[in-house]
């Protein structure tokens, strides 16, 4: 691997990237609709967990969850009623179903009402330790469904933990939250609550026959901000960007092979460590910025 040449090529890809063009068609568009730390990290968590399959489907289903949460995920997590949970009973995204989403909501309610956040549960000396600890904390409740465990990766079992590494990249990298230029739609939450009230009627049960369709929904409820300085959020400060690990999927793996950044063929934690260590050579401070460059290179080769 010619380090200088590889770094130059990847830096060029990043320099030519317009973050907004990427955001509009990526699951990261979901948290970019919010401004508070809690709303960003909760919406991003659901978007990341759903992030496998077609991006259009991922975004639509994540939008569906945010819509059902009244476009206020943190408020919903801590204040929802049993009636408000009924609309989640028919949720399905590939193998992630209502059992899983309802358990996720319950865990987050326990954490946030106790004054803890998602960030507080990534603890340990290494990223492997932090993600494994998160997995253990997430399933520490006696009502945890066995089927849901597969949706929170555990690198202690050599999982690549692609979705959690991507989520951590979103939360840790980037400018400080106060520097982000985000356009809010001040009427969004009010209008969503009105729509949800209409569904419920005068104390009636939620109409389960109504299906969410982002294409038919008021665009002001779903549109992303128009002015964004950075792709990632940088709202978590307990983890240094240099400690992050690269999300490894087929696109990144393909590009990493091409640039000589990866030799291991299995998509597992050992491969994540190998790739991330090589990216550290390219940039010791912010190595995982190259995740996007690798993805874009591979995507371009498949067009």
Is residue 113 over pLDDT 60? yes
- Match 């009427």 to its residue by tokens: 187
Exposed/middle/buried for residue 200 (C-beta within 10 Å: 0-12, 13-18, 19+):
middle
Q: Is the pLDDT of residue 184 over 50?
A: no
Window from 93-107, 192-206, 216-230, 285-299 with minimum mean pLDDT: 216-230
Rounded mean pLDDT of 15-26?
90
In this prediction, residue 196 carries a pLDDT of 54
The CA distance from 27 to 49, in Å, is 10
Q: What is the pLDDT of residue 230?
A: 79
Dihedral (Cα; 134, 136, 141, 144), 10-degree rounding: 100
Measured in whole angstroms, how far is the alpha carbon of residue 113 from the centre of its chain? Answer: 22
| Residue 187 confidence (pLDDT) above 50 | no
Residue 201's pLDDT band, with cuts at 50, 70 and 90, is low
**Structure confidence at residue 260 as a pLDDT band (50, 70, 90):** very high
pLDDT of residue 300: 85
State the average pLDDT over residues 248-265. 97
Q: Which pLDDT does position 213 carry in this prediction?
A: 52
**So what's the pLDDT on residue 226?**
33
pLDDT tens digit sequence for 146-172:
999 999 999 999 999 999 999 999 999
Contact of 88 with 206, CB cutoff 8 Å: no
Range with lowest mean pLDDT among 84-93, 182-191, 285-294 = 182-191
User: Is-contact 119 171, C-beta < 8 A?
Assistant: yes
What is the full DSSP assignment across the chain? Answer: --HHHHHHHHHHHHHT--HHHHHTTSGGGTGGG--SHHHHHHHHHHHHHT-SS-HHHHHHHHHHHHHHTTT-HHHHHHH--HHHHGGGGG-EETTEEHHHHHHHHHHHHHHHHTT--SGGG--SSSHHHHHHHHHHHHT-STT--GGGGGGS--GGGT---HHHHHHHHHHHSSS-GGG------TTHHHHHHHHHHHHHTTTPPP-TT----TTTS-HHHHPPPS--S-SS-----SS-GGG------HHHHHHHHHTTS----S-SHHHHHHHHHHHHHH-SS-GGGHHHHHHHHHHHHH-
For residue range 21-45, list pLDDT tens digits in order.
889 999 999 999 999 999 999 999 9
- Report which of residues 218 and 156 the model is more confident about: 156
Domain boundaries, the chain: 3-302
Rounded-to-integer distance, Cα 111 and Cα 9, Å: 43
| CA-derived radius of gyration, the chain | 19
| pLDDT (mean) for 241-263 | 98
Grade residue 258 by pLDDT with cuts at 50, 70 and 90.
very high
Res 234: pLDDT: 97
Cα–chain center distance at 244: 15
């Amino acid at each position: 691997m010619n380090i200088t040449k590889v770094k130059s090529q990847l830096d060029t890809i990043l320099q030519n990237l317009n973050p907004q063009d990427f955001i509009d068609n990526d699951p990261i568009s979901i948290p970019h609709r919010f401004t508070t730390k809690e709303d960003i990290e909760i919406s991003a968590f659901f978007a990341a967990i759903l992030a496998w399959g077609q991006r259009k489907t991922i975004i639509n289903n994540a939008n569906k969850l945010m819509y059902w949460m009244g476009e206020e995920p943190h408020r919903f997590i801590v204040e929802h009623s049993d009636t408000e949970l009924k609309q989640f009973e028919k949720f399905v995204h590939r193998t992630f179903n209502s059992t899983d989403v309802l358990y996720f909501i319950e865990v987050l309610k326990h954490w946030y009402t106790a004054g803890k956040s998602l960030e507080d549960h990534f603890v340990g000396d290494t990223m492997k330790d932090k993600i494994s600890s998160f997995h253990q904390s997430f399933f520490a409740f006696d009502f945890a469904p066995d089927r849901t465990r597969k949706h929170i990766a555990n690198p202690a079992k050599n999982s690549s933990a692609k979705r959690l590494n991507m989520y951590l990249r979103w939360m840790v990298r980037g400018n400080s939250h106060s520097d982000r230029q985000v356009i809010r739609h001040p009427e969004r939450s009010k209008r969503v609550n009105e729509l949800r009230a209409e569904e419920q009627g005068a104390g009636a049960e939620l109409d389960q026959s109504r299906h969410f369709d982002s294409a038919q929904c008021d665009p002001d409820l779903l549109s992303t901000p128009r002015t964004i300085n950075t792709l990632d959020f940088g709202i978590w400060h307990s983890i240094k960007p240099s400690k992050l690990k690269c999300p490894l999927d087929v696109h990144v793996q393909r590009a990493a092979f091409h640039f000589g950044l990866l030799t291991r063929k299995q998509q597992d934690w050992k491969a994540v460590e190998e790739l991330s260590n090589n990216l550290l050579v390219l940039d010791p401070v912010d190595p995982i910025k190259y995740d996007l460059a690798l993805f874009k290179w591979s995507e371009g080769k498949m067009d």
